[in-house]
Structure 1
Amino acid sequence: MFSFKHFFVVMVALFGFVGLAVQSDDVSAAQTIKFTSEMHTNKNLTYNGTIKYYVKGDAKKYQANLDYAANRWNKALGQKVLRKTTSLTDSRLVFTGTNKLASGYAGMAEINSGVIALNTSWMNRYNKQKQRAVIIHELGHTFGTKDLYNYPDATLRGVFKKQTIMGGNYSTNIRSFDAKLAKWTLSKTRSMSPTEFSHYRSNKGLYYQQMLHGQL
């Protein structure tokens, strides 16, 4: 487990949990990075090209930073993929705040049921920049991108940790590498049908439902 002073922590489980592990310039132009299957999962949260996000009451205090992070990704992607909605049932992604996550987790994303949970015990200690960095990283997972600080190649893993959003560098500046990676993972992953997504959302054994019913 990474030190929380420098990294947010990741958990990858059966239903696709991903979190942020923890500055510099963009990935070195001197090194050509090939995108590989180890960088993406098998699905993303888009439906008809967009991800509608809803903010629960327990995450409203982070609303400005959530909207900032969504706008940063939309600008980096060159299209409005992330769109805010006031309807929970209309959403593909729900932001929720909790103090029930394990102490090592600042944030967690579950792709299947469409949730990003923010650990209020840590978020409340962070300044605005770090809060935004957590959210930007977690939103990166909604496009199907994995945590790059777990990348199998040790040399590249070190580069990713220092220089990329999905490597956990605490940056709020989405540089060309992360933008290109997000576009690539969106093209390499699939969007769930409404039926499949509804199945996960109604499964009370999943993290989203446990959170919704106050079990976490």
Structure 2
Amino acid sequence: MFNFKHFFVVVMMVLVGFIGMAAHSDDVSAAQTIRFTSAMHTNKNLTYKGTIKYYVKGDAKKYQADINYAANRWNKALGRKVLRPTNSQSGSRLVFTGTNKLGAGYAGMAEINSGVIALNNSWMNRYSNQKQRAVVIHELGHTFGTKDLYNYPDASLRNTFKKQTIMGGNYSTNIKTFDAKLAKWTLSKTRSMSATEFNHYRSNKGLYYQQMLHGQL
């Protein structure tokens, strides 16, 4: 999930006390030195037979170009076409929807169990095209099983992640080495749900898919 409040705090820190970010030519010396841990991933991802078919609902069509851009960026970073568009909502593993009912602090949120990415219209409508794309790229990162790195338990690494990585919430549209390697690693460390399990989650009234169908999301 993309938490605007966390991002705003980081921005204020940069404005008040200059941090020498320009000195970093690549994201986090990290790509080479930071060890991936279980705190970086959940237990499942949204792939089915190696792909994630995504459907863009009518209320998210205005973000269609940004969604396709973000999917193509991730496919390039992963070195294979994991994310594929589909015209069938029922045949999808992921549905994009636009909503005015997310918490005010969130520009977007991903519900992996039921396969929904909800984009908060109130924030997205104020954002530049670059920021809109960054939000979608971040949320798509969760579909590979990757957690929000701005919540990482190690404080020092957490601060680094916030400033320099997509999953840390830095609003970048450039998927660099660290985020690409992390996504590949979380895909290998998490499991794909069977069709039966996935459909069970989609029928759960407490999860996003049913809330979306009934206008609650």
Fold match (TM-score > 0.5): yes
Residue in structure 1 matched with residue 148 of structure 2 by the alignment: 147
Find the residue that maps to 1:117 and give its secondary structure.
strand
Structure 2, unaligned stretches of length 5 or more?
A: 11-20
Find the residue that maps to 1:6 and give its secondary structure.
helix
Residue in structure 1 matched with residue 172 of structure 2 by the alignment: 171
Structure in which a larger fraction of residues adopt helix: 2
Find the residue that maps to 1:88 and give its secondary structure.
coil
Find the residue that maps to 1:210 and give its secondary structure.
helix
Residue in structure 1 matched with residue 119 of structure 2 by the alignment: 118
Structure 1, unaligned stretches of length 5 or more?
A: 9-22
Contact kept? 1:26, 1:177, Cα under 8 Å: yes
Separation of aligned partners in 2, 1:31 and 1:75: 20
Name the Cα RMSD after superposition.
1.8
Residue in structure 2 matched with residue 54 of structure 1 by the alignment: 55
1:137–1:92 distance in 2 versus 1, CA, 3 Å:
same
1:81 is the counterpart of 2:94:
no
1:7–1:51 distance in 2 versus 1, CA, 3 Å:
farther
Alignment of structure 1 residues 19-98 onto 2, 5 Å? 25-28=26-29, 32-98=33-99
TM-score (norm 1): 0.89
Give the number of aligned pairs: 202
Contact kept? 2:95, 2:115, Cα under 8 Å: yes
Deviates more, 1:25-34 or 1:150-159: 25-34
Give identity over the alignment, percent.
Answer: 83
Separation of aligned partners in 2, 1:50 and 1:30: 25
Find the residue that maps to 1:94 and give its secondary structure.
strand
Residue 30 of structure 1 deviates from its aligned partner by 9.3
Q: Which runs of 4+ in 1 moved over 3 A?
A: none
TM-score (norm 2): 0.89
Separation of aligned partners in 1, 2:31 and 2:82: 31
